[in-house]
Amino acid sequence: MNYDEFRSSISKGNVNPVYVFTGEETYILDMAVEYLIQVFITTDQKTLNLSNIEGKTSGLDDLKASCETLPFMSQRRVTLLRTPEALIDKESDSDNLLNYIKSLGDHQVLLINDRNVKIKKNTKLYRHLNKTGSAVVFDKLKGKDLTDWVRGRLSGREKDMSYTDMNYFIQQCSYSSRNISTTLYDLDNEIKKLSDYTSGKTIDRNTLDSVLIKPLDKNIFDFLGAVGSNDSDRAMEVFNDIYLMNEPIPRILYMISRQFRLLLGYVVYKEKGYASGEIQEKLRIKPYEFGKIAAQGNQMNQKRLRGILEDILQTDKNLKTLSSDQRLEMEILIIKLTKGK
């Protein structure tokens, strides 16, 4: 079922003892998590009646201990299982979890938060949850639902946009693109920037062209994230997406090099004790880009970044002096960058 069906079911008192939330649209998924918690737990009860279990660091026994704890002065207790894939990587673990959730009582709700869409749809666990109406899928918004959401966010900031410009905005943000992973979080960030930039009530086409982050920049940020987490498959996928946009490889390499230079600058200034505002000023970048750089910079160190820039420099020399395949040179570079050394 989708989010609207889920909310309707909850409002009618039809509550399952377990749910799995999964799907591309993390913005609405996160909203649904908060909604479920608020339905059953008041703010002053969260300490006693809400448990967060990390699948990466906890086992099935930890999950059972939480689920079997009775609620305090509340009808139900909520257990939120994050990164569930770590608990069900092995088929035996998945079977044990499936057998356990089949016996859950109605004194609590177990929410399996598959935010990164790691649980395969053909597993016995997912098929059981889907069959029992416990799987809630958060797909990207489409059509009127999407334009209504954008108009609502604009209205909340006392702004407006023509229907034509709104569709242009959605297109420029690449929300509906299969090649670029854009969510409502990204659209919301763009709406905030546009609203801050616009003094009047209406956001027009000229403003959109002046302020919006271009798809290439968005992809470069995704590439940085993949390198930061040593995910060679994802980094290769993002590179191929950019390549299919007909961007020249030298320009792609330049953009990648620029972002890693900014990352190194961020790390150096941070280690020297500069505050975030001072670092942004020294790097001379806009708040949106700085937020992306800061998020990635906190996961890297100077040694690795300097090594990455040396590899990029060597690739640049190869592109200019050798007659080798440019795409192959980039793919070799990506393998080097995602070794994590």
What element of type H or E holds 36?
A: helix 26-40
d(CA 226, CA 238): 9
d(CA 292, CA 197): 19
Range 56-86 burial, b when 16+ CB lie within 10 A, else e: eebeeebbeebbeeebeebebbbbbbbbbbb
Backbone angles phi, psi at 202, to 5 degrees: -95, 130
Are 254 and 320 found together in one domain? Answer: yes
pLDDT of residue 315: 94
Specify the residue for token string 């039809």. 14
Strand ranges inside the chain, DSSP E: 18-22, 50-54, 77-82, 108-114, 135-137
Are 107 and 63 found together in one domain? Answer: yes
Are 64 and 172 found together in one domain? Answer: no
Joined tokens for residue 109: 């709700």
pLDDT of residue 340: 60
Are 164 and 238 found together in one domain? Answer: no
pLDDT of residue 159: 95
Strand ranges inside 115-219, DSSP E: 135-137
- CATH number assigned to the domain comprising residue 258: 1.20.272.10
pLDDT of residue 292: 84
Are 236 and 203 found together in one domain? Answer: no
- Looking at the structure of the chain, the number of domains it has is 3
How would DSSP label each residue in 268-328?
A: HHHHTT--HHHHHHHHT--HHHHHHHHHHHTT--HHHHHHHHHHHHHHHHHHHH--S-HHH
- pLDDT values of the chain reduced to their tens digit, one per residue, 341 residues: 999 999 999 988 888 999 999 998 999 999 999 999 988 888 888 888 898 988 888 888 888 888 888 888 888 889 999 888 877 765 566 788 888 888 888 888 999 999 888 888 888 888 999 998 889 999 999 999 999 999 999 999 999 999 999 999 998 887 876 656 788 998 999 999 999 988 889 999 889 888 876 667 778 888 888 888 889 998 998 898 888 877 889 988 998 999 999 999 999 999 999 998 899 989 988 777 788 889 888 888 999 999 999 999 999 999 988 877 899 999 999 999 998 65
Which residue range(s) make up the domain with 220? 216-337
Query: In 3-state terms, what secondary structure has residue 62?
Result: helix
Are 71 and 105 found together in one domain? Answer: yes
Are 75 and 168 found together in one domain? Answer: no
d(CA 67, CA 77): 8
Are 11 and 69 found together in one domain? Answer: yes
In this prediction the pTM is 0.64
Q: Which of residues 87, 118, 137 is at a domain's end?
A: 137
- CATH number assigned to the domain comprising residue 155: 1.10.8
- CATH number assigned to the domain comprising residue 131: 3.40.50.300
Specify the residue for token string 């008041």. 42
Are 247 and 325 found together in one domain? Answer: yes
- CA proximity to 20, closest of 100, 139, 103, 114: 114
Range 213-228 burial, b when 16+ CB lie within 10 A, else e: bebbebbbbbbbbbbb
Q: Which of residues 167, 194, 212 is at a domain's end?
A: 212
Are 23 and 79 found together in one domain? Answer: yes
Burial class (CB in 10 A: 0-12, 13-18, 19+), 167: middle
- CA proximity to 7, closest of 32, 28, 26: 32
pLDDT of residue 45: 83
Are 126 and 223 found together in one domain? Answer: no
Cα of first residue to Cα of last residue in the chain, in angstroms, is 43
pLDDT of residue 215: 66
Q: Which of residues 137, 152, 170 is at a domain's end?
A: 137
Are 13 and 127 found together in one domain? Answer: yes
